[in-house]
């Protein structure tokens, strides 16, 4: 009986994580669509308070203009991995999901994007974006 209860608890935890990861995938794609369409200021507005405390809005817009605009339009993007973490180097302890995506652009055939979300109250918000 104890083994059954442990199995149910473990299954429930992993099911909850999978659901959280699935829901956050939609959040990531929605946020990336803002970036894709050049709505850099709006992507900053939609980001978490911690993100905003680390980068000024003007700096974010300039940085994305320099990095993303030369790549052209997104041709393809797929989530390749998501990882739930309770801490990240240099960031406050919290609930995070790190989502890695494989992408291709008009002028860059293979790219890896990483979007990090942090749980803020009942919502998940972007706290990091990296492309290579």
What value does the mean pLDDT take over residues 124-128? 94
Spatial contact of 29 and 37, defined as CB atoms under 8 Å apart: no
Q: Kindly state the tokens that stand for 15.
A: 């099911």
Q: What is the mean pLDDT of the chain?
A: 84
Distance of CA 56 to the CA centre of its chain: 19
CA atoms within 13 A on the CB side of 54: 13
What's this model's pTM, rounded to 2 decimal places? 0.81
pLDDT tens figures, 71-112: 999 999 999 999 999 889 888 899 999 999 999 999 999 999
């Amino acid at each position: 009986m104890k083994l059954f209860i442990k199995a149910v608890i473990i299954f429930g935890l992993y099911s909850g994580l999978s659901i959280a990861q699935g829901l956050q995938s939609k959040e990531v794609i929605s946020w990336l669509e803002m970036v894709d369409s050049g709505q850099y200021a709006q992507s900053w507005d939609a980001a978490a308070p911690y993100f905003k405390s680390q980068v000024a809005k003007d700096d974010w817009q300039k940085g994305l203009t320099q990095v993303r605009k030369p790549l052209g339009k997104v041709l393809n993007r797929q989530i390749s991995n998501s990882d739930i973490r309770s801490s990240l180097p240099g960031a406050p302890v919290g609930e995070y999901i790190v989502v890695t995506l494989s992408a291709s652009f008009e002028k860059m055939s293979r790219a890896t994007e990483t979007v990090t979300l942090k749980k803020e109250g009942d919502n998940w918000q972007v706290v990091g974006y990296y492309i290579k």
